Amino acid sequence: MRSVTITNHEGQHLIDRRTFLNFAAANTVATAIRPLETEQSKKQGMAKSATAFAFQQVDIFSSKPLFGNPLAVVIGADALRDDQMAAFASWTNLSETTFLLEPRSPAADYRVRIFNPEREVPFAGHPTLGSCHVWLATGGSGQRQEIVQECGLGLIHIRRGPERLSFAAPKLVRSGPVEPEILARVVRGLDLALDAITASNWVDNGSGWLAIMLRSSEEVLALRPNYSTLAGLKVGAFAAFNPLKDGTSAQFEVRGFSAEAAVGHEDPV
């Protein structure tokens, strides 16, 4: 079990990772973290920094607390090194952790770096919305309808509506048909018959996803992924709603399975 120093108005104390994540989930905001001491900093003989970095853990894509995609957002993280960001993202063990920075582009309002527990990624959807929400909540200029985020994929334009944020999806970095050998692994990993997939395509805008279309929402809901077989892949599965059977509350049933990290997981959205 790893520990991290948390600073609050009562002083400093150490709590283990599980206790901390329970605290963060229950309270949404944890006040501050101290940079993790990495192997690189040990080799350089660096003492722990006295600088604290505020961060928030937020819930994306859900109007009900603890039912969306969780995201950790570190605020004002310009002084953190790459290895410190990666270490903290690995420690949170969330699908993504982001770091808010001063922009480099004069056209951007802020810059964000996005890490999953394994590596940095140039772009991802719920980290974009969550990071923008935290930037606004911590003093970002929110008078304009459009906010510009700078990330590894370039400039992302985010629209601020009366109740929610939305963004213009960046261009795909990979598209086209899924290779037969990869599709065969998806079939095995989801325990499907090959003819159950009616269409497939790469839909990678920086996060590495491919998508498959199935014949019915029941088939999507029945999927039981084998993450060992899917290792290294991120697979989105969807099917159109049948209004007579599924109702009209939505148009598609969608599930997402990520086996990119050491332990696979299903995205809650």
> Is 11 in the same domain as 39?
yes
Residue 261 forms part of a structural domain: yes
Residue 116 forms part of a structural domain: yes
> Is 30 in the same domain as 157?
yes
pLDDT tens digits, residue range 224-252? 999 999 999 999 999 999 999 999 999 99
Residues 6+ away with beta carbon under 8 Å from 204? 172, 173, 174, 175, 210
Is the confidence at residue 32, as pLDDT, over 60? no
- Taking the alpha carbons of 109, 115, 116, 119 in that order, is the dihedral positive or negative? positive
Residue type, 3: S
The CA-CA-CA angle for residues 3, 264, 267, to 5°, reads 95
Of 167, 191, 222, which residue constitutes the final position of a domain?
A: 167
3-state secondary structure of 76: coil
Please count the other Cβ atoms lying within 10 Å of the Cβ belonging to residue 35.
25
> Is 36 in the same domain as 128?
yes
Residue 172 forms part of a structural domain: no
Longest dimension (CA), the chain: 67
Domain coverage including residue 66: 3-167
pLDDT tens digits, residue range 14-24? 333 433 333 33
Domain with residue 210: its CATH number is 3.10.310.10
Number of H helices, E strands in the chain: 7, 16
Write down the pTM of the prediction: 0.75
Is the confidence at residue 34, as pLDDT, over 50? yes
What are the φ and ψ backbone dihedral angles of 202, each rounded to 5 degrees? Answer: -75, 135
- Can you tell me the distance from the alpha carbon of 115 to that of 101, in angstroms, rounded to the nearest whole number? 14
Question: Can 96 be counted among the known catalytic residues?
Answer: yes
Q: Return the bridge partners of 133, or none.
A: none
Mean pLDDT, residues 203-223? 95
| Cα separation values, 121 from 23, 151, 260, Å | 27, 9, 12
Active site residue: 39, 96, 102, 218, which one? Answer: 96
> Is 151 in the same domain as 56?
yes
Contact between residue 196 and residue 186 where contact means Cβ atoms under 8 Å apart: no
> Is 39 in the same domain as 16?
yes
Residue 173 forms part of a structural domain: no
